[in-house]
Structure 1
Amino acid sequence: MSNVKKLNKGYEASFSKGSGCNRVRINRRFKTKTEALAFIAEQTLKHNSNGKLFRRRLLISAYLKYWLKFEKNNISEETLHTYKTTINHVQLVLPRIKMYEINRRIIQSAITLLSQRYAHETVRKDVSHLKVMFRAAVRMGDIHKNPMEDITVPTDRFRQKSIDEKVMPESDFKKIKNYLLNYDYHEKDCNRLVVLLIIFTGIRVGEALGLSVENVDFKNNSILINQSWKTITKTVGETKTPNSVRKLPVQSKVLQKMKNWRYLGHTTPDGSNGKLFFQTFDGRFLQPASINACYQGLQKKLKIVGNYSIHTVRHTIASLLLEKGADIVQVSRLLGHSSPKITATYYLGLTPDKGLNKRRTMLDMLE
């Protein structure tokens, strides 16, 4: 019988299978319970009665399914959904390749094909999932070397968004902010109100939709982000990272708009028709797609050139703050990133309408 036991420091995983002289016993210590459970799952897979020969002859997609059966208890429901997407992608580009046939050249060709069909971030997740699976396969002795080492995700220049598509010009951004701040909100303007909060705080869409009534502090003009709406499961869950739990200041005028809107539903701002602040008055939950559609509808209404998604609000806010000299650590905390490195990697950039002037200034230094 296998089990995981909590120690004073860390956890001990005990794997046991068989009986008598054929009995296998393995004990290992780990820092976290997740690592200990993953070890038990791997050993269960390794010592399965079907044996190594059976697993080596599985198709890549079949092996991934087989491995997930033992790992699913250690993976969140949202992540499990992305693994299932990876299985579909593997079936598409590696339909007949078996585990014993795989090598780096075959994998790189498959990843290149995927990058021509799907967004860069989608393929990056596929690569991440396959790395984990093949790493486990090496540990179990099913393959000798991880074929995912040094695999790169090619950038399709026709699919890759330019800085002009990720960051809205400051003048247009201010136009939307002013419009939303002076708009007279009605009962059916819930989506627009969510956009108002996002554009003034930079929070994620899921964080806005998961905002509970009790986490809106009208007295101190702030909100507490400690949960997020999960689109796949259609439930409220944990934030994206532990650092995403944060308290943020909100302009009093924005909160007043939110308070007035709740009064329209015949409920006090600190009372609740439901757990979530932005639930509609008839009890329906909002969806990220409707928030994005609302934001893009505003752009058309205000005759803003481009087609910016609601997530680009975070890119725009980060770029504007960094350009104006804000500390990158504080910007990272504002956005709820796991580390400033994420902020630097994905958000550090120049706004489109100022970048040309800065480059011109640099070149003028050579004169």
Structure 2
Amino acid sequence: MVNQNDKNELFHVYYKRWVTVYKEGAIRKVTMAKYSMTHQWLEKLVPDLRVCHLSRLTYQRLLNDYATEHERQTTMDFHHQLKGAILDAVDEGLIDRDPTRKAIIKGKTPREKRPKYLNQFELHTLLTHLNLGSAINWDWLILLIAKTGMRFSEALALTPKDFDFTHQTLTINKTWDYKGDGGFLPTKNQSSNRKIQLDWQTVMQFSQMIKGLTEDTPIFIHGDGKVYNSTVNEILTRHCQKAGVPNISIHGLRHTHASLLLFAGVSIASVARRLGHASMTTTQKTYLHIIQELENKDVDLVMRSLSVLG
């Protein structure tokens, strides 16, 4: 028998309890923070909405109100985070029908986004503008991400011990909690634990740079361990402007690395392994536009090859 008091519970209270029971300790801190933010928006937008009053109309109004201040993709994420809790409420008999069914996702017009990646000439031009002195600085991190395609958090967690100069490899087996209080964290997924092959030039540069550093200490982290993504992005932006190339983010360097490999003819499987993607499907979805462009080139090549036959 469903308790009537449960049906009359405020929705944001039910949602917070649901997150605590089903998500706390089961997801990464950064994902948990997103659920907490969703709860704060519920308190702001529907402070008096009760579980029993959730209908397609009230839910659509909630999404519409959220969409007035957010882009469509962000609204979609908000919808997905709410949907899990709401479907459980339906299963528990607290709501008669699924109010999320046929929900319409709206959102503000997206801001003009930075280019996702640079071409080979633009990347080369950018790298020549880096200040690569004899001491470790953020420009060295920019160079290393461009050369390896690592995630920002993975690069921050690198220690001298992770470099194997004899075999020209770099071991990725941890990340740095730059969004929290600092310190090492596990990688994003099991596939993110990997070895990345380094070119000889990078090997020579870093073998000199990290000589004498403590083996288990992050080479890019100093002081209290607090690092802000925005700080490094601002440095990268200044270099892009000086080099006269499109402004990209640190994550854009990862996209650039993958794009150049794909255009060079490296297989999707190899690119997926190098990036630490959980599956090739992730790589295919992320770089679909490049893969389609390469397929068009393949068709032209096939046609030219066939035209000389017979």
1:141 counterpart residue number:
93
Residue 228 of structure 1: how far off its partner (Å):
1.1
- Distance (whole Å) between structure 2 residues aligned to residue 52 and residue 340 of structure 1: 47
**Does 2:203 match 1:255?**
yes
Contact residue 177 and residue 200 of structure 1 kept, 8 A: no
1:65 counterpart residue number:
16
Describe the shift of the 1:69–1:285 C-alpha distance in structure 2 as closer, same or farther (beyond 3 A): closer
Among 277, 282, 295, the alignment partner of 1:342 is 282
1:19 counterpart residue number:
none
1:288 counterpart residue number:
229
1:176 counterpart residue number:
126
Contact residue 154 and residue 174 of structure 2 kept, 8 A: yes
Residue 170 of structure 1: how far off its partner (Å):
3.4
Q: How does 1:85-234 map to 2 (within 5 A)?
A: 85-151=37-103, 153-154=105-106, 156-159=108-111, 161=113, 165-180=115-130, 183-187=131-135, 189-233=136-180, 234=182
Contact residue 129 and residue 242 of structure 2 kept, 8 A: no
Q: How does 1:36-55 map to 2 (within 5 A)?
A: 52-55=3-6
1:310 counterpart residue number:
250
Residue 237 of structure 1: how far off its partner (Å):
1.0
Residue 336 of structure 1: how far off its partner (Å):
1.3
Among 241, 266, 269, the alignment partner of 1:329 is 269
Task: Return the structure number with greater strand share.
Answer: 1
Task: Give the secondary structure class of the aligned counterpart of 1:145.
Answer: coil
- Distance (whole Å) between structure 1 residues aligned to residue 58 and residue 4 of structure 2: 21
Residue 155 of structure 1: how far off its partner (Å):
6.0
* Structure 1 spans left out of the alignment, 5+ residues: 1-46, 362-367
Task: Give the secondary structure class of the aligned counterpart of 1:247.
Answer: strand
1:299 counterpart residue number:
240
Residue 119 of structure 1: how far off its partner (Å):
4.6
Describe the shift of the 1:59–1:239 C-alpha distance in structure 2 as closer, same or farther (beyond 3 A): same
Aligned residues: 296
Spell out, residue by residue over 1:292-339, the C-alpha distance to the aligned partner (whole angstroms, 9 max, x if none): 2221121122122x3311111222233333334332222222211122
Contact residue 278 and residue 286 of structure 1 kept, 8 A: no
Spell out, residue by residue over 1:41-69, the C-alpha distance to the aligned partner (whole angstroms, 9 max, x if none): xxxxxx9xxx7322322232221112233
The structure, 1 or 2, with the larger RCO (C-alpha pairs under 8 Å, 6+ apart) is 2
**Does 2:221 match 1:279?**
yes
Residue 206 of structure 1: how far off its partner (Å):
0.6
- Distance (whole Å) between structure 1 residues aligned to residue 163 and residue 72 of structure 2: 36
> TM-score by structure 1 length?
0.70
Residue 89 of structure 1: how far off its partner (Å):
2.2
Contact residue 237 and residue 249 of structure 2 kept, 8 A: yes
The percent identity for this pair of structures is: 24
Contact residue 198 and residue 205 of structure 1 kept, 8 A: yes
2:307 counterpart residue number:
none
Counterpart amino acid of residue 295 in structure 1: L
- Distance (whole Å) between structure 2 residues aligned to residue 349 and residue 155 of structure 1: 24
Contact residue 198 and residue 313 of structure 1 kept, 8 A: yes
Contact residue 46 and residue 62 of structure 2 kept, 8 A: yes
Q: Which runs of 4+ in 1 moved over 4 A?
A: 282-285
- Distance (whole Å) between structure 2 residues aligned to residue 277 and residue 153 of structure 1: 44
> TM-score by structure 2 length?
0.82
* Structure 2 spans left out of the alignment, 5+ residues: 301-310
1:364 counterpart residue number:
none
